[in-house]
Amino acid sequence: MRAKLSTLGCRLNEAELAGWSRELEARGCRISGEGDAADLVVVNTCAVTAEAVRKSRKLLRRLQRENPRARLVVSGCAVSLEAHQLGELGIDLVVPNQDKDRLVAIAEEALQLPLMPEAATEPGAAALFARGRQRAFVKIQDGCRYQCSFCITTRARGDERSRPIAEVCAEINQLVADGIQEVVLTGVHAAGYGSDCDTSLSELLAAVLAETDVARVRLGSVEPWDLPERFWQLFEHPRMMPHLHLPLQSGADSVLKRMARRCKTADFARLAELARSTHPNFNITTDIIVGFPGETESEWMQTLAFVEQIGFGGLHIFNYSPRQGTRAAEMSDQVPTPVKRARSRELHTLAQRLKRAWLQRQVGSVQEVLIEGFVSGQQDDASLQLGYTPGYLLARVPNLGVDLSNRLLPVRIKGVINPDGVDQRPRLQADPMLDTDLVTPVR
């Protein structure tokens, strides 16, 4: 049986999709690539914005056109919140968010899929590395108990539910057996891990470091609260990667209050200080919402000043758009679109300057890069490959005639490459420090 899986939205959606893919492969399915036919199509939808719902519908229609005879299984936030908008799309099975961890089993029973028994394949038979994967997303929890005024996710995902520590560690150990070098632990409110089962994110990370051999451990997006002092001490471990994406959303406390955020700017600055005390190159990235209802020019200037004060290594910038069903959508003083666009351009300029400054600070250092692929995306150009530093900075590395794929390679950072027509992200240029006993010549 051939299965095609696709997702929109957050890293948690990607982690769930990866889990379904591994389970389907273990049950005898072959995962179809882009352009290949499929007997089963599984889609994880997104509803964080009205545009995300539109894109989810568009994706479903495209996959149906490309696979007219396939059974269509759909899950995710769009079907939880906007089922009436998807009802005409000929979906064979909808799996609600609260049941998506059992999606494969539910689909097998409901659609009578010809899957193999769960124990029929050998461990490691579905090696991700064979498909060119070096990093895997691992879901650690779902749901959120907080209600930020702009966020629809609480309604879509429901209450907080944490996976058992032993289950997370077992999944990571299987990924290591399949060739994965780096895992990214992700959840809706990752910092709240364990709130429902008398444990904590700190205890989970300590267990992952003690009970698995994965070379690199990262965290996905983590809300900047519910993080105890012990949490930061874990980043002193060399396998914990010194990068966190801490969503700020605004640099003005008055806006944060309207957003119902639980972190003021002074609290956030303290978190940044704690992070950087564990590692001199600790990279902090963030989200900023531009033009939240009522955002004044003074509040906007506070945001710009605070972003510069923290010195983020990267920003995700979103122009606010009303999301039906949230409190923010009903607020007065919606910011005009031209104002949001102008502020967004201003913040993008600042973000590029901060990003380049952060990259420049890396020049001259020796760091380990996980090599992930070729610059062009095509292996016929084997002279340059791309990888990420521990701080999740993109580096371009000459391979000097050896195959570096999926290798953790020490490199010396020699410069910063400006954006070009192919990839608009500035990146590091590095020289490999090769030990010929550790690499294989390119054939």
Condensed to tens digits (0 to 9), the pLDDT of residues 31-86 reads 888 778 899 999 999 988 888 888 988 999 899 889 998 999 999 998 888 766 66
Q: What is the pLDDT of residue 84?
A: 67
Q: What distance in Å separates the CA atoms of residue 32 and residue 67, rounded to the nearest whole number?
A: 11
The b-or-e profile of 35-53 (16+ CB within 10 A means b, else e) is eeebbbbbbbbbbbbeebb
Domain with CATH 3.80.30.20 in the chain: 133-356
Q: Which fold has domain 366-441?
A: OB fold (Dihydrolipoamide Acetyltransferase, E2P) (2.40.50)
Residue pair 96/144 in contact by the 8 Å Cβ criterion = no
- Within 10 angstroms of residue 109's Cβ, the number of other Cβ atoms is 11
The b-or-e profile of 324-334 (16+ CB within 10 A means b, else e) is eebbbbeeeeb
Angle between helical axes of 11-26 and 103-111 (0-180°, round to 10): 50
Q: What is the pLDDT of residue 85?
A: 63
Domain with CATH 2.40.50 in the chain: 366-441
Q: What distance in Å separates the CA atoms of residue 263 and residue 275, rounded to the nearest whole number?
A: 16
76 φψ region: left (φ > 0), alpha (ψ -120 to 50), beta (else): left
- Burial degree of 373 (CB within 10 A; 0-12, 13-18, 19+): middle
Residue pair 293/327 in contact by the 8 Å Cβ criterion = no
| CATH hierarchy code of domain 2-111 | 3.40.50.12160
Can you say whether the dihedral through the CA atoms of 301, 306, 309, 313 is positive or negative? negative
Torsion of CA 118, 208, 137, 133, to 10 degrees: -80
Tokens of 346: 């201003």
**CA 111 to chain CA centroid, nearest Å:** 31
CA-wise closest residue to 368 among 393, 392, 390, 384: 390
CA-wise closest residue to 200 among 249, 172, 233: 233
SS3 call for 73: strand
Q: What is the pLDDT of residue 87?
A: 61
SS3 call for 69: coil
Low-confidence stretches of the chain (pLDDT < 70) are 83-89, 116-132, 375-382, 419-424, 434-443
Residue pair 328/318 in contact by the 8 Å Cβ criterion = no
CB-based contacts of 120, cutoff 8 Å, min separation 6? 27, 28
Q: What distance in Å separates the CA atoms of residue 381 and residue 262, rounded to the nearest whole number?
A: 49
Domain with CATH 3.40.50.12160 in the chain: 2-111
CB-based contacts of 151, cutoff 8 Å, min separation 6? 48, 144, 323, 326
Tokens of 109: 């029973």
Q: In what order do the strands lie in the sheet with 243-245?
A: 243-245, 283-290, 314-319
Q: What distance in Å separates the CA atoms of residue 201 and residue 209, rounded to the nearest whole number?
A: 12
Residue pair 180/132 in contact by the 8 Å Cβ criterion = no
User: What DSSP assignment string belongs to 371-429?
Assistant: EEEETTS-TT--SEEEEE-TT--EEEEE-TTEE-TT-EEEEEEEEEEPP-SS--S-EEE
Q: What distance in Å separates the CA atoms of residue 278 and residue 280, rounded to the nearest whole number?
A: 7
Tokens of 39: 């007997």
**How far from 188 is each of 144, 172, 192, CA to CA, in Å?**
6, 19, 9
CA-wise closest residue to 347 among 319, 373, 366, 322: 319
Q: Give the CATH architecture of domain 133-356.
A: Alpha-Beta Horseshoe (3.80)
